Amino acid sequence: MNDEPAGFAATGHDSDRRLLGDRLKQAREYLGLKQEDVAKHLSIPRTALSNIEAGQRKVDALELSRMSKLYQRPLNWFTNDTEVDVTEVPSEVAHVARAAASLSSQDRQELARFADFLKSRAKSKVTSNG
């Protein structure tokens, strides 16, 4: 029995699932996270995450939302069908992102506050010199 509505081919949905799975895997690997860690965070088996990344399992909206937050990417980054490249950020930023992924939620919040402080300090230097 086919779950697809009459007149709709499964291949379009399959390729969309594969694209989404590829982006989820790319974002996870970019942060240096293991499938086991993400699966625990989502409260799903590691094999389910593996199937999601392979495009063999659908991901529900709540799972995608939680992965989006964990991977620090907007939802449309995963669902947009245009080409994306996670390597477009400087290597220092990538290093900080990978390091931050292993921190506690409280420590990541502190890191975010520190980043905001550095941005405001840089702006005040430009204002006072300009």
Cβ density class 20-58: b for 16+ within 10 Å, e for less: bbebbbbbbebbebebebbbeebebeeebbebbbebebe
pLDDT surpassing 80 at residue 42 = yes
Give me the domains of the chain, ranges plus CATH numbers.
11-88 (1.10.260.40)
- pLDDT at residue 55, as a whole number: 93
The mean of the pLDDT values for the chain is: 81
pTM: 0.57
| pLDDT tens per residue across span 52-108 | 999 999 999 999 999 999 998 888 888 876 655 544 666 777 778 778 888 888 988
